[in-house]
Amino acid sequence: MEDSMDMDMSPQRPQNYLFGGELKADKNYHFKVDTDENEHQLSLRTNRDTMRRVVRQSKFRHVFGQAVKNDQCYDDIRVSRVTWDSSFCAVNPRFVAIIIEASGGGAFLVLPLHKTGRIDKSYPTVCGHTGPVLDIDWCPHNDQVIASGSEDCTVMLGVQDTDLGTEAFPPRGGSVVVIGADSFHQVWQIPENGLTLSLTEPVVILEGHSKRVGIVAWHPTARNVLLSAGCDNAIIIWNVGTGEALINLDDMHSDMIYNVSWNRNGSLICTASKDKKVRVIDPRKQEIVAEKEKAHEGARPMRAIFLADGNVFTTGFSRMSERQLALWNLKNMQEPIALHEMDTSNGVLLPFYDPDTSIIYLCGKGDSSIRYFEITDESPYVHYLNTFSSKEPQRGMGYMPKRGLDVNKCEIARFFKLHERKCEPIIMTVPRKSDLFQDDLYPDTAGPEAALEAEEWFEGKNADPILISLKHGYIPGKNRDLKVVKKNILDSKPAANKKCDPITAPKKTTDTASVQNEAKLDEILKEIKSIKDTICNQDERISKLEQQMAKIAA
């Protein structure tokens, strides 16, 4: 009996259970503890220091999640069934993009945030890939540009050409990167009010991978810089403005790359791969800065992301298939700062990080919950906060940037959970009594303005994100149109072999412009012919209907 009493009253944890975290400062508490042998009187005096030891102070302790009502969900969506561990969803303050099942190639939906309810099967899609789409990513500097990667080995980007006014490119929209199973990726520009016709022609197709492209990631601070990674174990960094591959890291990974993450200013990337290594790479110097073998010893996929302070956070599996999370310091990757085992589920943990609040949300594919943790510089460094649980498992997850949240409701995160046939927003809030702007919840956050141009970054410059205040809410500005000026491939010889010839240089520029003008003219003529054919067909149809009406009237 004494043993059990001593264990219950040990100094490490009595208050958590006696008071449930509700200790008051500068008070005396007295308890009578009866045993078979004698009586003990326990007197506990608490102060603020004791409070800190008992319950860690954090403004995010009471964060809670809540799913929206059914009429605010996106229903009747055929979410992709492709076996690939990506999130299948990308979100920004204007649109939500979802990879869907499509016959004859790859496609994804782009819906304005306000278009909730049932989505008609005939709703326009972005469908330029010849293989299933594997990954999509919105440009952080243009809410209407998206990139995609696919099994067809390509990366694609699409944009509206306002000079031509063609239907394939709607006016002034957002850009997104999409990855497909066709080994290339494409970049697309979405109309400001969403799609009215399906998009089949991207702004630019980026070809360079020999196998399917499974990862795309925009640079956080430099305009038009895009990273892609494929199953050929290569990472390529592109200047989207010219369509050129300027950095090719094809000899640093011996096995498939699971994910790639930029650091805060985009000077480094970290990768997790099938060989169980976590690598930190300087892409411009093409050097490995730090490396950890067997960061997680399990055979299932890992994830690695950069934190705002430069540390690396990883998720993976132990040798016994227990899911783990770990925190690493780049200066010493031999041992983790923190390592925690969670459970034995087999779903890959997808981490979503908020650098403003230092909260990490872990969403397991196939799970029905979202766990969230706070990262601090106090042991044990990774502090569990809470879990949002629901009934249905998640097929994928989208994460809203901070500038898309409702600051009036103390919303600190918003997720878009993919079910088998719908997308369900989940809102994370911190309960506050005051209706005033909460400065401590909303420090200045990364805005949509790029800190560098692509050329500056490739020349070696670095810059932190340009921050904006959310005190009066985020008001989207007018996005720049994405313009791609491709260089003449015949002129792209190695720099060492180029000779400066002031006479021939203008001629080359003129020839290139002439070729581009001819290509545009051909596109216009084709479009005019297509419209004329459509008009002729409609005229014939109208004539037949008039004849039928005349017969009926007679």
237-260 pLDDT, tens digit per residue, is 999 989 899 999 999 999 999 999
For 125, the token pair is 């899609």
Q: Taking the model in full, what pTM does it have?
A: 0.75
Instruction: Give 208 or 293, the one with higher predicted confidence.
Output: 293
Separation of alpha carbons 350 and 423, rounded Å: 17
Closest residue by Cα to residue 286 from 252, 316, 262, 335: 252
d(CA 84, CA 212): 11
CB 232 within 8 A of CB 250: yes
| Cα 290 to Cα 312: distance, rounded to the nearest angstrom | 11
**Residues 247, 63: Cα–Cα separation, whole Å:** 42
d(CA 99, CA 113): 16
Is pLDDT at 134 greater than 70 in this prediction?
Answer: yes
Confidence of residue 502 (pLDDT cuts 50, 70, 90): very low
Q: What is the pLDDT of residues 2-31, one digit of tens each?
A: 444 444 433 333 333 322 333 333 434 443
Confidence of residue 413 (pLDDT cuts 50, 70, 90): very high
Mean pLDDT, rounded, of the chain:
80
% of the chain at pLDDT higher than 90: 53
Return d(Cα 48, Cα 55) in angstroms, integer: 10
Taking residues 84-109, what's their average pLDDT? 90
- Whole-angstrom CA distances from 302 to 317, 349, 429 are 7, 8, 29
pLDDT at residue 546, as a whole number: 80
Confidence of residue 183 (pLDDT cuts 50, 70, 90): low
Q: Is the pLDDT of residue 506 over 70?
A: no
CA distance 311 to 339: 14
The percentage of residues in the chain with a pLDDT greater than 70, rounded to a whole number, is: 77
Q: Which one is predicted more confidently, 44 or 462?
A: 462
Residue reference for tokens 């997808």: 350
Find residue 287's DSSP bridge partners.
282
3-state DSSP call for residue 278? strand
Q: How far apart, in Å, are the Cα atoms of 329 and each of 152, 257, 326, 368?
A: 37, 21, 10, 31
Six-digit token string for 333: 């990757």
Beta-strand relationship, 74-75 and 117-118: parallel
Of 151-165, 366-380, 513-527, minimum mean pLDDT range: 151-165
Nearest Cα neighbor of 479 from 225, 111, 141, 162 is 141
Query: Please, which pLDDT band fits residue 521 given cuts at 50, 70 and 90?
Result: confident
pLDDT confidence bin for 35, thresholds 50/70/90: very low
Least confident of 2-6, 177-181, 209-213, 390-394: 2-6
Q: For the ranges 12-26, 40-54, 166-180, 512-526, which has the lowest average pLDDT?
A: 12-26
When pLDDT is averaged across residues 376-404 and rounded to a whole number, the result is 94
Give the per-residue pLDDT at 464: 96
**Statement: residue 269 has pLDDT above 90:** yes
How many angstroms separate the CA atoms of 246 and 283, rounded? 10
Residue 511 has pLDDT above 70, yes or no: no
Token look-up 């054919």 returns: 533
* C-alpha span between 144 and 94 (Å, rounded): 8
How confident is the model over 129-153, as a mean pLDDT? 89
pLDDT for 54 beyond 70 = no
What is the predicted pLDDT for the residue at 514?
A: 57
- Asked whether residue 172 carries a pLDDT value surpassing 50, the answer given is no
pLDDT of residue 517: 67
The SS3 of residue 487 is coil
The domain segmentation of the chain, as residue ranges, is 64-154+181-459
Range with lowest mean pLDDT among 23-27, 278-282, 364-368: 23-27
Q: Is residue 128 pLDDT above 90, yes or no?
A: no
Place of tokens 């067909």: 537
Predicted local distance difference test score (pLDDT) of residue 221: 97
* Out of 113-117, 182-186, 543-547, least confident range: 182-186
Determine the pLDDT at residue 353: 97
* CB proximity list for 464: less than 8 A, separation 6 or greater: 221, 264, 265, 451
pLDDT of the residue at 486:
63
**pLDDT surpasses 80 at 161:** no
Supply the pLDDT for residue 495: 38
- Given a cut of 90, is residue 434 above it in pLDDT? no
Is the pLDDT at 372 greater than 90? The verdict is yes
CATH for the 64-154+181-459 domain, from 1.10.8.590, 3.30.70.640, 3.30.360.10, 2.130.10.10:
2.130.10.10
What pLDDT does 484 receive? 64
Q: Edge-to-edge strands of the sheet including 338-341?
A: 303-306, 312-317, 323-328, 338-341
The DSSP H or E segment spanning 457 is helix 454-458
